[in-house]
Structure 1
C-alpha cells in the first residue's frame, strides 16, 4: 500500500470518528429537546477558510435556530459544551439572577508561559480573584473619575479634526479607519498611561499604534491553526514559543508602564490617569465619590461565590501593566469599531446627521463654543444615535460565561454540567424583528425616552449585562461622544466612490469594515 493510500485511510478513519462523536453529541442534546447547532470549532475553521465573518456566522446561526422556535441550542467546542441562549428571560437568569452559577467568563484556552500579562487581566480572572479585583477597580470607572479625564478626550478630539483636515486637502475622500485608530490610541495613551502616543504627530502609525495593533485578535486560517496548537497541544505550543499575544508588544508595554510607575514612586508624584488609580486601588485608597456607587455595586446583586478573598498580587506592577494592556485590548478595537460604523450610518442617513448636527451646534452655542463633560452627556439625540449604532453594528457579536456548578436551564429539561459554557448571540438578538421591527433600518428613534422603555433590555446587550458586564462602559461612551461631536461639527459625512454598500466585514474579534472605511468628509465653514 502506498503512503498516499495510507494517509487517505487515516483521514477517512479520522473523519468517521469525528462523525460518530458529532452524532453522539447531537443525540445527547436532542434527547432533552434541545436542537443541535453543530460543532463551534468546525464552524470557526470553515469561516476562516471561506471568508465568512463572525458577524455573518452569528446572525445566520441565530436566524436558523429562531426559525425552529428554539430558546436554547446545543453545541460543542474542543469537547466543551456550548449552550447558545436565544431567549431573553433565560439570558436574564444566566447573567443576573443566577450569576452565582456563571461568575467566570469562558476560560478554556490554556495560558502559554510566554503570555505573562494574560494571566493577570481582569477579563480572564475567575471566582473570588475576579470579584476582589473588580471591586477594587470599579471606583476608577465612576462618573467623577472619568469627568476628570474629559480634557484629555477633548484634546484628542481636536487632534482628530486637524488630522482629517490635513488628509482631505487634495481630496475629500479618506479611510476614516486611520483617523479613528489614532484617536482611540491617543485617548488610551494619555488617559490610561499618561504617555504621548505620538499618533497624530506623523501620518504613518506611531510605535504606540503599532504595538496596539499587535493586540488585535485575528482569525484567518493561519491564526486559527496557531490557536488550535495552543488549545490542543499546550506543551508543544510552549516548546515552539507560541503565545496568544505578541512578545514584542508585551515587552513594550511592560517596560513603558513599569518605568512610569518607578518614576512616580521615585519622585513621589501623582498623575491623573488610570495607572495612578490602580496604584491607589492596590493600597486600598481608591474610593467611589460620595453618593455614587461603583459599577460593581450598582449591578445585580451578587450571590456568594465563596469566602471573601483579596486581590493578592493581581495588582503588583505586572498586574497593573496587564490591566493597562487589557484597556488597550478592550478599548481600542471596540471603540474604533463603534466610531467607524457610526460615521458610516450618518453618511447613509443624512436626515439623522442633520438632526444630530443641530443638537451639537446648539450645545456648543450654549457652552461658549467648547465641549464639556456635562454638555456632551446632555445631548439626548447623540445618545440615541450611538445606541442605534451599537444595535445595528455591535462591536462584539457574542458574549460567553462558564458554569461553575451544574445548572438546570430554566424552562427546559436540560442540565448544563459544571465546566460547560453558555453563549449569548448579541448580533442575532439585535437583528431580531421580534424585538426591533425593521431591524435593517437605522432608526435612532427606537431609543427615544418614550420608546426606550419598551425595549427588552436582555435583547439589547452591547456591553453585556449583570455583574460581569463591561467595566469600561462609561469611559468608552464618553470618548465616543467626544469624537462624534467633533466630527459632525466640523465635517459633512457622505458616502464616497469607495464606500462599501452593502457593508462587508473582516474576520476579527471585533466588527470591522473590510478594506477600510472610505467616506467623503467635507469641511464645514463656521
Structure 2
C-alpha cells in the first residue's frame, strides 16, 4: 500500500508540475500585458497543425485576420513557445531592413560539431553567421551569376530536350520540375556532370529521419539536443553530400585554369576562402533552402497556366519572340525582356508562397517608434508572409491568379514589404537572383515547345500538404502535355 501511495503521489506531483509549467509558459503574453491570441492548453495557437489536420498557413492566417489593425504585433504560441506575430508592414520594414541589426538571428537549431552540414547560412546565427555571410556575399554577385549563366542554360536545354523525348499525353509535373531543379543544383552547386542517379536519390531522402516533435524540442532545448547529439538530417545522405563536395574540390584543384562552371570554384577561390567543410555546408544549403521551394513554384506556375490557357499562350509567345530575337540564346540581359513571364512568376510566388512565414529572433531589446510597445531581447518573431500576400486590402480578390498585379504601376502603388517571397535585408535569400534566373529559364524550357492543360487526374482546386511547413501540393500535380510547333 505504501508503494502504491508513493506511485500515486509521484504521478500526481509530476502531472501537477507539468500543468504548472504549461500554464506559466502559456501565460507569457498575459503577464506582459500584450495583446495576444488566446492559446489552447498545450497546443498554443497551432492546434491541428502538428497532427496534419490543417496547414500552418491557416493558423497564421486566422491570427492575422483577427488582429490586423489592432496593434503593430500580437502575441501567439507555437505549442508552448511564445512568438511575436508582426502585423504592421512598417514594423516588418524595421525588422527586415532599417533596424535589421536587432534581428539578425533566426533561432534555428544547428550542431556544426556533430552535423557539419548544419553550418549553412540558413541555420547559423550569431558571429558564425556574420562571418560566413561576409565571405559568401562576394560569391553571389551579378557578375559571378552572369559567368555561370551558360552552364545553367546548358542544363535547361538538356532538360528541354528530354521532355521532347517523352510520350506526351499526361505528365507528372511535380516529378518533371524536380528533375530539372536537381540537375541545376547538382551541376552549379556540386559541380556534377552526366548521370546524377545517386545525387537525385540523396536529394530526396535527407529528411527521412525528420520528426516534428524532436525538431521542436531541439529548438526549445538546443544545449540538451547538442549534448544528446541530435541530428536534423539522414546520416547516410549528409555523409554522401559531405564526401561528394570534398571529392569534387580535390578533383578541381588537380586541374589548372579550368573554366568557371560552379559555386564550388567560387567559394574556394574567394579572397576570404571558406574551409572545405564550410563549402560543403553551403552546397547542401542549395538543397535545403532551394529545392522544394523551386519545385513548388514551377509546379504551381504550370498548374495556374494550365487553368488559364490565354495567359499561358501569352507567356509562350513572349518566350518564343525573345528566342527568335536572340537566335535562341539566353543571357542575363535577355531574360529582362521576359516581363510578362516575370509577372506570372511573381504572381505564383504571391499566391503560392513557398515559405509562408519568416522567422527572426531579437538579439537586443527593440522599442517601437512612437509607441509603448517593446520587443524584448530573445523574443522569437514570425512574419506571416503568406497572410500578407493574401491580404485583400493589399491584393483585392487575393485568391484569384492575376499577373496584372505585378505591372509596374500596380507594384508602385502598393506599400513596401507587401511582397516577400525571398525575404529582405541581411537575412533575406542571398541567392535570390540565382533562384529567379533558374525559375525563368526553367519556364522557357517547359513552355517553349509544350502546352499544358488539366487532365482527369488534375486536383482542382489544388490542396496543400498539411504535413509540410512549406506550401507544397498535397499530391503530385498531373497535367496533360501537348507539343507545340514554333
TM-score using structure 2 length:
0.90
Contact 2:26 2:77 in 1 (8 A): no
User: Which whole-Å deviations, capped at 9, do the CAs of 1:110-135 have from their partners, x for residues lacking one?
Assistant: 638532221x2122333444333323
RMSD value, Cα: 2.9
Match of 1:227 in 2: 215
Q: Which residue pairs with 2:170 in the alignment?
A: 173
Q: Give, in angstroms, the shift of residue 18 of structure 1.
A: 5.1
Structure 2 SS opposite 1:400: strand
Deviation at 1:14, TM superposition (A): 5.9
Deviation at 1:435, TM superposition (A): 0.7
> Out of 238, 243, 250, which is 1:250 matched to?
238
Structure 2 segments unaligned to the other structure (5+ residues): none
> How many angstroms does 1:52 deviate by?
1.4
Q: What CA distance in whole angstroms lies between the structure 2 residues aligned with 1:217 and 1:373?
A: 37
Find the counterpart in structure 2 of residue 311 from structure 1: none
Q: 1:182 aligns with which of 176, 179, 182?
A: 179
Q: 1:3 to 1:235 in 2, by over 3 A?
A: farther
Q: Report whether the alignment pairs 1:212 with 2:203.
A: yes
Structure 1 111/132 Cα, relative in aligned 2: closer, same or farther at 3 Å?
closer
1:57 aligned residue: 59
Q: Work out whether residues 300 and 348 of structure 2, in 8 Å CA contact, stay in contact via their aligned partners in 1.
A: yes
Per the alignment, do residues 360 and 275 of structure 1 end up closer, same or farther by CA in structure 2, a change over 3 Å counting? same
Whether 1:513 and 2:463 are equivalent positions in the alignment is no
Q: What CA distance in whole angstroms lies between the structure 2 residues aligned with 1:112 and 1:371? A: 39
Q: Structure 1 residues 453, 319: CA separation in 2 closer, same or farther (over 3 Å shift)?
A: same
- Partners of 2:365 and 2:468 lie apart in 1 by 32
Distance 1:248 1:368 in 2: 45
Q: Mapping of 1:105-120 within 5 angstroms?
A: 105-107=106-108, 109=109, 111=111, 114-118=114-118, 120=119
The secondary structure found in structure 1 opposite 2:39 is: strand
Counterpart CA distance in 2 for 1:278 and 1:442 is 39
The equivalent residue for 2:89 is 88
The 2-side partners of 1:464 and 1:117 are apart by: 23
2:252 aligned with 1:264: yes
Partner of 2:302: 343
Aligned pair count reads: 480
Partners of 2:139 and 2:336 in 1: CA distance: 19
Give CA deviations for 1:435-483 in whole Å, capped at 9, x if unaligned: 1111111111111122221122212111111222110001000010011
SS at match of 1:193: coil
Q: State the partner residue of 2:454.
A: 495
Distance in 2 of aligned mates of 1:104 and 1:235: 17
CA-CA distance at 1:423 after TM superposition: 1.3
Does structure 1 residue 395 correspond to structure 2 residue 396? no
Extract unaligned runs of 5+ from structure 1: 200-205, 286-314
* TM-score, normalising length: structure 1: 0.83
Secondary structure of the 1:519 match is: strand
> Alpha-carbon deviations, 1:403-428, whole Å to 9, x = none?
11111134542322211122110000
Give CA deviations for 1:232-288 in whole Å, capped at 9, x if unaligned: 56677567764101111111111111112122223345442111111122x348xxx
**Structure 1 contact 190–197 (Cα < 8 Å) conserved:** no
Query: Which structure would you say has the larger RCO, counting Cα contacts within 8 Å and 6 or more residues apart?
Result: 1
2:23 to 6, 12, 20: 20
Deviation at 1:351, TM superposition (A): 1.8
Q: 2:188 matched to which residue of 1?
A: 191
